[in-house]
Structure 1
Amino acid sequence: MRRKTEAQTSTNERANADKKDPNHRIQSQTEAKGRVSCGSVLMNIGKCLLLIIIIPPFLNYASLQREGQMLLPKDGQIVDVGLGQKMHLLCKGKGRPVVVLDGPAGMSSDIWIHVQESVATLTKVCTYDRMGLGFSKRLMQNETTGTEKVWGMSTTGRMVDDLHRLLQAAGIAKPFILVGSELGALNSRFYSHIHDVQVSDLVLIDPIPEDIFEDDQWKAYWYGKLLPSLQARQFSAATGLSRMLIILGAIEPMIKGENVSEEVIQRQKYLLSNPAHQSSAVDEHYFLNESAAQVRDITKFKPLSSRMSVSVITGDSFDEQIPTHLNQMVEKLQKKFLEESYPSANHIHIKGADWRMIYKKPSAISQHLKRLVNQRQARQQSE
């Protein structure tokens, strides 16, 4: 009763004060309105944050579903390679020997666009998306059983088995010329040692040395800097942020220029926004250490056929965007493994190039591949 009386007294005092002092009443009303206004602002901010969190991923997912059908290359085909898996294969041109191209880690088949167009004027040239990249959907381990569980995820052994089943299912004529860049070079080496009868010529572009991950500085760069940046890109794609940044012009496709079609540019934007593609790119980089170990083991136990020619194409550096001392280390290890594994290889140097030579300096690669094709065609005619 006493508390109630005190509260009534306090209220009466404030009321009397308001009557005596109009300014006090106005101040009280202003404070009340301020509290309401502040609450409304916080509520509106919360709604905006909720929209930012929900809408971009939703819109990105809806756009990906539509673009996945629209941007599939017209000349490409989705090939059933068994075990419930399907892979994207794109072949252009006609003739033999067929040239098969395998790209760097995390890259779709578009990376070969210039080389493929050029060499396809002479013979059949095929590119493909490794499982999980581009338009080759990766199955989860609980979706099927078979080889993918034996090899695990995204290692060279797994990729080579995928490629072998793809070429078999597509009926690609053998023997063919196998070309690999960076991780693709590891895959091509593994494939050529295992299936040596199927490969007439092996071409390695900026190959990754087998022992590179034994160096602590390289491991610190690869797993401490490069991989986290790829994981951030994967998160950005999953949240829809990448699509927003592309729209704003903050992110641009890697392959561009006057001689790159709008379809290819749109396809690159689609893959930058695609969390499934970015996830597979992360996995390929994460397991590259294991891939290098698999190649090192297979080259020891099964030497390359003496009938197969080997060419190695390198530039002034492995990657012009990494520190000089790392490039020097890669060059030293490349020289060592080539002398030990392929001492008779034809070494071609492209001035001012790094691994991006595939799309920045494609003519040098195309010219070499055309020479190999002409040589094989001349032998076929003479036989």
Structure 2
Amino acid sequence: MRATLRRRQQDAPPRVGSQHTAQKNNIDQVRPTESFSVCRRLISVLKYLLLILVIPPFLNYAALQREGALLQPQEGELVDIGLGQKLYLNCQGKGHPIVIFDAPTGMSSDVWLLIQKDVSQLTQACIYDRAGLGFSKRMFQKQTTGLDKLWRGSTTGRMVDDLHRLVKEAKLNSPFIFVGSELGALNARFYAHVHNWEVSDLVLIDPIPEEVFLEDVWLQYWYEELLSYHQTRQFSAAVGLNRMLLISGLMQPPVLGANISEDFMRRQKYLLSNPAHLSAVVDEHFFINESISQVRDILKFKPLSSKTTVTVITGDYYDEQLPDPLNKVVTQFQQQFLTQGYPSAKWIKMKGTDRHMIYRSPKDVAKQLKKLINKRKVKQESQ
């Protein structure tokens, strides 16, 4: 009987306490394995983050160093205008009057290449990059022109001061024809009023009327949408994302077309991947109100010479990238700008074009410019 009882005790199920202890031991054995798996996944995620955050910016920086030398335009030169600052200048053709082109807001001089090529068959045509844009260098931070308190960098006053020094260093003979588009038109007006003896003809292509920035709808578009867009592009260039988007075809350069050369396309992609260039783009948009204020002040104190002719060229189409209310506001204030600011100006409305005409319809723009150049040549020969 004792043997039977012993067998029953042996065959009996373990007590609750013993079962709990066994389960606990099993859990303790599993926990290290699960912790190890979690750590492995975390390390894997960190590796991918490292690849995304470090490798693309590093590769983009290395590529920019290589491309900066390879994509330097074969025509043109970097002109030292003093104080460690160099501006890119490209002059083609021969003869007088010299035509100087100033690009739209945040754009390099490449947008003028097709027009420059056409105009240079008739006279000397010069394009340049403003400080920080394209292949021009920014001024060293510790150096100054003495105008810092009056005109900050990336404003019209400073740009015109830079251009005036560039004209002197490059020995460009005046008077010349100054052609500007958008922000370039603001610069052209400022230059013509301050240095009126140097400008015989002022050509404003789709100029920015000052009063449009008094409208809330335009201010909201410029500072909340357009400026934010360029700030995002600058950041994505800094982390190498723009280069990846360009390679994949998800991002396109702003200037496209059948007449665009491969070198031009490569330079556009280089600039879109270059945070330094995009930083200057952001600054030009950010300080536009200050630029407008400077131009408004100059108009009050320094009238335009009566010898300087003014021609305004606009398209007869709305910009497809802008909503109709914004297009209507710009058109309204451009008309007001002409009647009040330059009542004797010749206004040319080009058919089938919008504000992108300088690189979408370059032949039509060049045709209008060549008419003006021929008239100026006739006047010069008769004097």
Shared fold, TM over 0.5 = yes
* Residue number in structure 1 paired with 2:172: 172
The CA deviation at 1:142 is 2.1
The CA deviation at 1:131 is 0.5
Alignment of 1:312-327 (within 5 A): 312-317=312-317, 319-327=319-327
The answer as to whether partners of 2:83 and 2:139 remain within 8 angstroms in 1 is no
* Residue number in structure 1 paired with 2:35: 35
* Residue number in structure 2 paired with 1:129: 129
The answer as to whether partners of 1:93 and 1:122 remain within 8 angstroms in 2 is yes
What 5-or-longer segments of structure 2 have no aligned partner?
A: 1-16
Query: 1:313 aligns to what SS in structure 2?
Result: strand
> TM-score scaled by structure 1?
0.91
* Residue number in structure 2 paired with 1:89: 89
Does residue 346 in structure 1 map to residue 346 in structure 2?
Answer: yes
The answer as to whether partners of 2:83 and 2:143 remain within 8 angstroms in 1 is no
Over the matched positions of the two proteins, sequence identity in percent amounts to: 56
Q: In structure 1, how many angstroms separate the alpha carbons of the residues matched to 2:377 and 2:223?
A: 44
User: What is the CA deviation profile of residues 84-136 of structure 1, one whole-angstrom value per residue up to 9, with x for unaligned ones?
Assistant: 21100011111111110001110000011111111111111100000110111
* Residue number in structure 2 paired with 1:236: 236
* Residue number in structure 1 paired with 2:267: 267
* Residue number in structure 1 paired with 2:281: 281
Q: In structure 1, how many angstroms separate the alpha carbons of the residues matched to 2:355 and 2:115?
A: 14
The CA deviation at 1:65 is 1.3
Q: In structure 2, how many angstroms separate the alpha carbons of the residues matched to 1:239 and 1:139?
A: 24
The CA deviation at 1:307 is 1.0
> TM-score scaled by structure 2?
0.91
The answer as to whether partners of 1:179 and 1:204 remain within 8 angstroms in 2 is yes
Q: In structure 2, how many angstroms separate the alpha carbons of the residues matched to 1:215 and 1:130?
A: 28
User: What is the CA deviation profile of residues 5-63 of structure 1, one whole-angstrom value per residue up to 9, with x for unaligned ones?
Assistant: xxxxxxx9589948xxxxx96x9866654432232121011011012111111111111
1:148–1:133: structure 2 CA closer, same or farther, 3 Å change rule?
farther
The CA deviation at 1:83 is 2.1
1:80–1:257: structure 2 CA closer, same or farther, 3 Å change rule?
same
The answer as to whether partners of 1:317 and 1:331 remain within 8 angstroms in 2 is no
User: What is the CA deviation profile of residues 335-381 of structure 1, one whole-angstrom value per residue up to 9, with x for unaligned ones?
Assistant: 11111111111111122322210100112210111111111222222
Query: 1:211 aligns to what SS in structure 2?
Result: helix
The answer as to whether partners of 1:83 and 1:146 remain within 8 angstroms in 2 is no
1:190–1:145: structure 2 CA closer, same or farther, 3 Å change rule?
closer
Q: In structure 2, how many angstroms separate the alpha carbons of the residues matched to 1:86 and 1:92?
A: 19
* Residue number in structure 2 paired with 1:6: none
What 5-or-longer segments of structure 1 have no aligned partner?
A: 1-11, 19-23
Alignment of 1:1-383 (within 5 A): 17=22, 32-144=32-144, 146-148=146-148, 150-317=150-317, 319-383=319-383
Query: 2:101 aligns to what SS in structure 1?
Result: strand
Runs of 4+ aligned residues of structure 1 deviating over 4 Å after TM superposition are: 12-18, 27-32
Q: In structure 1, how many angstroms separate the alpha carbons of the residues matched to 2:318 and 2:86?
A: 33
1:168–1:14: structure 2 CA closer, same or farther, 3 Å change rule?
farther
The answer as to whether partners of 1:160 and 1:187 remain within 8 angstroms in 2 is yes
